[in-house]
Structure 1
């Protein structure tokens, strides 16, 4: 028994050693196995043929014929020299035939592997190119699919330093239905001009550089933009290239690398502006989400010869299913919510919100305005405001500087965070107007005792930032944000006063988990930037429009009390609301129902309603307008 246990491993070890000698050993073992099977079976076939008789010599000849026909060795019978020469000739033919088959199979396999590795060149034209890989790829592709619904052929080409098959599998899981849009993945380095050529950037309608999901990703974005500008054929003329850096300090370098015609956004800058606007206008984030996605209403620029010579005020009431918000002059200058007396000249374009570009049509049916329901109210007196900021990250200083552009003199913002260096940072925040005074308090905002000691009812609003004090921007930071929101909700329920809260999240999927009320808002900066870049990629004229909307100066989107425009509990059509807003210098684009404010996915927001729709506003309802605040 012991000897058997030793012999077995030795035989396996000897067999393994012979296999390591390469092709000759493999051929030898294969020949032995074939002979060990074919010769006995051939002998049995001859013995089983009862109708055949003969001498042992003739039977050996029949066995040889069976073996040779099976192994393709010719099967000649005769003198030993003749048989050996026929075997040699058959082996030579077998060697060349098998070699030829092997070469063909190897070539085909190599080509298949190259295709699977994504090394071939994309020959699409007027497609959208995505360079890099991050969580942004999914919302961008999803929105491009929606934008391409009306196109017969559409394509999106993705180039990333990642396995082609893996990219295709991940996209298939997160974006299962691409409809009529082909998603083509190629493997290569986005910072290598030669690799970028695989996705044909010269023939693309837009090139989007995705933001890496790492802290120092701005350097990669700058290198990718340099690689794009140095790709063959990309040096001449303006390029429709889009990118978003994380830190506003790197935006100028990225714009220099991208060259003329490119659009480079700053995630921190845009997110900070949206946080400030949203904390003062509950529900505003939902409005922007609707305007930035292709599933609902979005901005369009369209020429309307029928309005030439008429005023902007006339244009506001000329469309039943589109909402006019501005004009783009023939020289390219954008006027958002201009005076209603502004004339529309030849070559000017209408800036409108609509379901699609083919729904922007002049109304051909009569409409009425109930002027007896129009209300004119005086603007509310400005007073100092108190804002509470919970948490700290690199965007916090920009949020404070932006908030200073809006608030009245004597306003206060109190910051509570774990990082003690915040106090020193606050003293260096550039406050242009100086209307805001900032103070700091150390504390963990997930602790209920810390929050209870803040006198929450004394604040007008609360801003909850993704806390990166320990370098955990992302899912872990979202976990802290959700815990903070739960604590705030519990305290608010105890005091009976619901504070407007705007919270910053990194992952949009966490929004469904967040405890919300009708006065809460969420800013998912990465998703908003992805949607923004997709909109601009489809219409480069929108870059200036969003720049106007997101800055403190000029007109932007507001949610104002409906009672400031029409009488409460009075049934009116939306034409009446638009006319009342026009008389106040505003452009009405929708309304919000307070009773539906906590109901997803619209959260009470109704953008671009049919102006013939009959409405009855109650206390707490809002009208959404574009106005100079």
Structure 2
């Protein structure tokens, strides 16, 4: 039969439990040892002086004071310089005990400081912030999001962005220091941990966050099973946030998902959760920018916090029964482009005769919310009496798409909806798969009026490029595979662009009108892309990151984007001025241009001047939301930027 633990074993067990309590237990143990050593040496000295009296030793109080000095300071051994040998030995022993105990205490304090510093380096400390933006996840997109938020926070005295990811805190701090030179009034705080951990989220003051952005930790080109698991982790993170805050106090959440079924599931969890269908949005944008030259610069100006933004505005005194067409001229420095109902429905470019209900909010484009001012007296504007020239008939187009990604099918589908019957879409890929072929055939079956071809071809071969005759196409869109290193993807894009430029240069045709459209993953490569000869390009990562940042500040702005990129309703176009007036005055105000657009059932919010397209001032001749009073000197070669249902 096994013996029960004895007294020593039980005491050892209790001592082990006490010491495992952490730094406070160790500190209390050291203090107890100090007290015990002090009492022990005081008693020994007192008894020794009773047995062997020493004239140099005073009262009991003097003896206690001498023991205390010697146990805390080695130099106090001189106190026993004139004492007997016994007292000198007692002093030496006391000093040695003091040295051992003080060394232990110093070692303990040092280890606690090192542990705290290590804890700080690991990013596990508490975050005490309020009104901060919380980003859960780390990757290529986080940099652009943080840059946009820094711009958004310029008007705040002390703003904070908290980033949590599985990366080491030191690595994240170094990354932001290298990439962002000036954070202005914004502090970037990094922490390491698991985003789906309730304990970790509580340390980040999640309940006091202004908004939360959840980034997916798997690339778009990952296997389906990996994306399924990554999306499940995002859902788990959302539930962990709700567990921290309670359903009634959940901050606005913007989450990144790869799979549509997970997006639908997330939307049903709580009304504060928003998702972005990134690939669909980018695909539609690629099609629109390829068909309307200069449109990429318009979107770049509208998305994000630099330049103009979308705002909702409600007049506290109501709209007084005014129509949409009337209210366009009640804002001098803002462009009215639609309205939002109390149920959240957004309508862009409604008929001018639409009476705006007092409960509705206007959708405006403005440089800042401080610029939005409702004028009681409408701005005077002259509507042209003469009709504009008729739009030219829709022509047969040829579109070339090089490469295949998750956006390709959407791009082909969108193009087919825009193009006139008899137009042609050719897709060239270096390697063709059965899945790709099946997806392409499905799209071709839905658009019988459009000629479609899917070809396998290596365009790095000059003979293959020559047989394709790209100069006969209206647009060439270059797409790269999803995922991977942005720098490598852009390098491959630039190499292909050089192939096309070399071909056009040596083709002998000086009137090549083919427009090259490219997707740019890294905004640092813009200048190189422009040097190659791309007129329009889409900075995909930056564009989506801007939307994430903008939606984190105002989640309702996503409904405006949904309306602009939806299958139905109005879209942004850049149309010739001759469509709006047959005789163009030498000087005309922007207010008069808005009136001319309303006459055609469109909402004007900008001007494009062809003569300034290459003036190098950065705006490419595009003026978004100029004041209604601004006077322009325009010609028939210039354009209006409008919201319209049709391109003609």
Residue 266 (structure 1) aligns with: 277
**Does the CA-based 8 Å contact 2:72-2:95 persist in structure 1?**
no
* 1:531-560 CA-partner distances (Å, limit 9, x unpaired): 111111111211111011112321111111
Q: Does 2:562 match 1:550?
A: no
Q: Does residue 1:301 correspond to 2:319, yes or no?
A: no
> Structure 1 residues 552, 368: CA separation in 2 closer, same or farther (over 3 Å shift)?
same
Matches of 2:445 and 2:607 in 1, distance apart?
33
Matched, 1:74 2:77: yes
Equivalences for 1:277-288 in 2 at 5 Å?
Answer: 277-288=288-299
After the TM superposition, which of the residue ranges 175-184 and 522-531 deviates more from structure 2?
175-184
Measured in 2, the distance between the counterparts of 1:301 and 1:518 equals 38
Which residue of 1 is the match for residue 536 of structure 2? 521
- Give the corresponding residue for 2:116: 111
Secondary structure, aligned partner of 2:477 = strand
Per-residue displacement from partner, 1:56-101 (whole Å, max 9, x unpaired)? xxxxxxxxxxxx9996472455766554432211111122222223
Deviation at 1:513, TM superposition (A): 0.4
Give the structure 2 partner of residue 245 of structure 1. 257
Cα distance in 2 for partners of 1:374, 1:492 equals 43
Change (3 A) 1:512 1:365: farther
Q: Sort the Cα spacing of 1:357 and 1:408 in 2 relative to 1 into closer, same or farther, 3 A.
A: same
Is contact 1:326–1:338 with CA below 8 Å preserved after alignment? yes
The match for 1:315 is 327
Q: Which stretch shifts more, 531-540 or 568-577? A: 568-577
Indicate whether 1:565 and 2:575 are aligned.
no
1:473–1:137 distance in 2 versus 1, CA, 3 Å: closer
Q: Deviations over 1:490-525 (max 9, x none)?
A: 444442223122211211211210146998211122
Asked if structure 2 preserves the Cα contact closer than 8 Å seen for 1:375 and 1:580, the reply is no
Match of 2:52 in 1: none
| Corresponding residue number in structure 1 for 2:641 | 624
Please name the residue that 2:606 is paired with: 590
Residues 449 and 505 of structure 1: CA distance in aligned 2, closer, same or farther (over 3 Å): farther
The answer to whether structure 1 residue 327 and structure 2 residue 327 are counterparts is no
| Corresponding position of 1:276 | 287
Contact in 1 for aligned 2:494/2:532 (Cα 8 Å): no
Alignment map for 1:432-471 (pairs within 5 Å): 432-467=446-481
Equivalent runs, 1:345-424 vs 2, <5 Å: 345-363=357-375, 367-371=379-383, 375-421=387-433, 422-424=436-438
What is aligned with 2:625?
A: 608
- Equivalent residues in 2 for 1:138-157 (5 A)? 138-157=143-162
The 8 Å contact of residues 589 and 607 in structure 1, kept in 2 or not, is answered as yes
1-side partners of 2:534 and 2:632: how far apart? 22
Q: 1:481 deviation in Å?
A: 1.2
User: Relative to structure 1, is the Cα distance of residues 492 and 612 closer, same or farther in structure 2, using a 3 angstrom cutoff?
Assistant: farther
Unaligned runs of 5+ in 2: 1-70
Per the alignment, in what secondary structure is the counterpart of residue 373 of structure 2? coil
Counterpart contact for 2:516–2:536, Cα < 8 Å: yes
Of residues 570, 580, 586, the one that matches 2:596 is 580
Q: CA shift at 1:239, angstroms? A: 5.0
Conserved? CA contact 1:499–1:519, under 8 Å: no
Q: Deviations over 1:385-431 (max 9, x none)?
A: 21111111222112111222212222210011101224444213376
Q: What is the TM-score of this pair, normalised by structure 2?
A: 0.80
Distance change >3 Å, CA 519–CA 182, structure 1 → 2 = closer
Tell me the number of residue pairs that the alignment of Structure 1 and Structure 2 aligns. 559
- Confirm or deny: 8 A CA contact 1:239 1:260 kept in the other structure: no
C-alpha distance in 2 between matches for 1:102 and 1:367 = 77
Aligned partners of 1:499 and 1:370: how far apart in 2?
39
Task: Please give the per-residue CA displacement for 1:144-185, whole angstroms capped at 9, x wherever unaligned.
Answer: 122222234422111111222332232122223222222221
User: Given the superposition, is the C-alpha separation of residues 447 and 615 from structure 1 closer, same or farther in structure 2, using an over 3 Å criterion?
Assistant: farther
Considering only aligned residues, what root-mean-square deviation do their CA atoms show, in Å? 2.8
In 2 relative to 1, CA 560–446 (structure 1 residues): closer, same or farther, beyond 3 Å? farther
Partner residue, 1:159: 164
Q: Does 1:224 align with 2:227?
A: no
SS in structure 2 of the partner of residue 485 of structure 1: helix
The answer (yes or no) to whether the contact 1:267–1:526 under 8 Å persists in 2 is: no
In 2, are the aligned partners of 1:404 and 1:431 still within 8 Å (CA)?
no
CA drift at 1:374? 6.1
Tell which deviates more after alignment, 429-438 or 221-230: 429-438
Deviates more, 1:154-163 or 1:245-254: 245-254
Contact 1:508/1:527 (8 A) holds in 2: yes
The alpha carbon displacement at 1:227 in A equals: 2.1
1:92 corresponds to: 97
Give the superposition deviation at 1:589.
Answer: 0.7
Moved more, 374-383 or 436-445: 374-383
1:511 corresponds, among 520, 523, 526, to: 526
Tell me what 2:443 maps to: 429
- Distance in 1 separating the partners of 2:427 and 2:363: 39
Distance 2:351 2:378 in 1: 25
2-structure distance, mates of 1:69, 1:378: 100
Q: Decide whether aligned partners of structure 1 residues 473 and 569 sit closer, same or farther in structure 2, where only a CA change above 3 A counts.
A: farther
Within 1, Cα distance between the matches of 2:194 and 2:418? 44
CA distance in 2 between counterparts of 1:435 and 1:516 reads 37
Aligned position for 1:15: none
Residues 609, 202 of structure 1: alpha-carbon distance in 2 compared, 3 angstrom cutoff? same
- 2:328 pairs with 1:341: no
Tell me, which stretches of 5 or more residues in structure 1 are unaligned?
1-67
CA contact (8 A) 2:310 2:364 kept: yes
The answer to whether the 8 Å contact 2:388/2:578 transfers is no
Residues 492 and 370 of structure 1: is their aligned pair in 2 closer, same or farther, counting only changes over 3 Å? farther
Alpha-carbon distance in 2 for matches of 1:374, 1:477: 51
